[in-house]
A = this chain, B = another copy of it.
Amino acid sequence: MKIMVINPNTSESMTENMRRNLLRIKGEDTELVVTCPDQGPETIDSSYDAALTVPPTLQLVQKANKEGFDAVIIAAFSDPGLEAAREISDILVVGIEEVTLHVAAMLCGKFTVLTPIKNRIPHKYKEVQNYKLDPWLASVRTTDMTVADTDANTKLAKSRILEVAHQAVEEDGAEIIILGCAAMVGYHEDISRELGIVVLDPTTVTLKICEALIDAKLTHSKKALYAKPPIK
């Protein structure tokens, strides 16, 4: 099977980091292309940034459809352009936030989402509500480091994640921690071990679920919400 992972952030270092991590865990039969648009914001730090990444991301979705891919993963934790991508795609498109929230909801009663910067907290609450999965939401907590800093300063990032995850468990009743930022890739195993708790890395989880869906010959429904746009 052939999967295109699109990082809507145009940061090459973040995309390379993601590529390395996913190649390590992909299924044997999985052919993986991890890419990012050639234009748009380097990192997504606002809804404004997210909005600008959508058109170039959609072009990559069209490319994946033409080039015989089996599925597309949109790999920024706010799933920019997911609905539009599904409309224009005959192959399965999944977003890392939607998949990860559902997997967390399958495996616990309450989860906490970590997000890099403070001013994204209300957006994460809103996103979880729009996905109608807020009954499972213990809290959104922030490491208070930008996406760029998280990407650059890995040691500090890890210790901040550990500290905040611990608070989520003790104070908010979190049973699972979701690392809600593509730049937090690669820490989940250590943190899971140190805290004795389930920690979800969205790109990892989503790649595995995506492989399973392809294996089960499933795609998003094209019947109503994601119907092909009328031809003009």
Contacts and interface: CB of A to CB of B under 8 A. Distances in A.
Interface of A: 25, 27, 41-43, 45-52, 54-55, 58, 81, 83-84, 87-88, 94, 98-99, 102-103, 105-110, 117, 119, 121-123, 125-126, 129-130, 132, 135-136, 146, 169, 173-176, 189, 197-198, 200, 204-205, 208-209, 211-213, 215-221, 223-227, 229-230, 232
Nearest to A88: B48
Contact of A212 (B109, B212, B232): B212
A158 B125 CA distance: 32
B232 A42 contact: yes
Contacts of A46: 84, 87, 229-230
A31 to B, nearest CB: 17
A205 B218 contact: yes
13 contacts: A25-B215, A45-B230, A48-B58, A48-B88, A52-B55, A102-B105, A106-B220, A109-B221, A109-B224, A119-B224, A122-B225, A176-B221, A198-B220
Given A126-B109, A224-B109, A224-B110, A218 B198 contact: yes
B175 A223 contact: yes
Nearest to A230: B45
Contacts of A81: 51
B204 A216 contact: yes
A32 to B, nearest CB: 15
Given A48-B58, A122-B224, A219 B107 contact: yes
Contacts of A25: 215-216
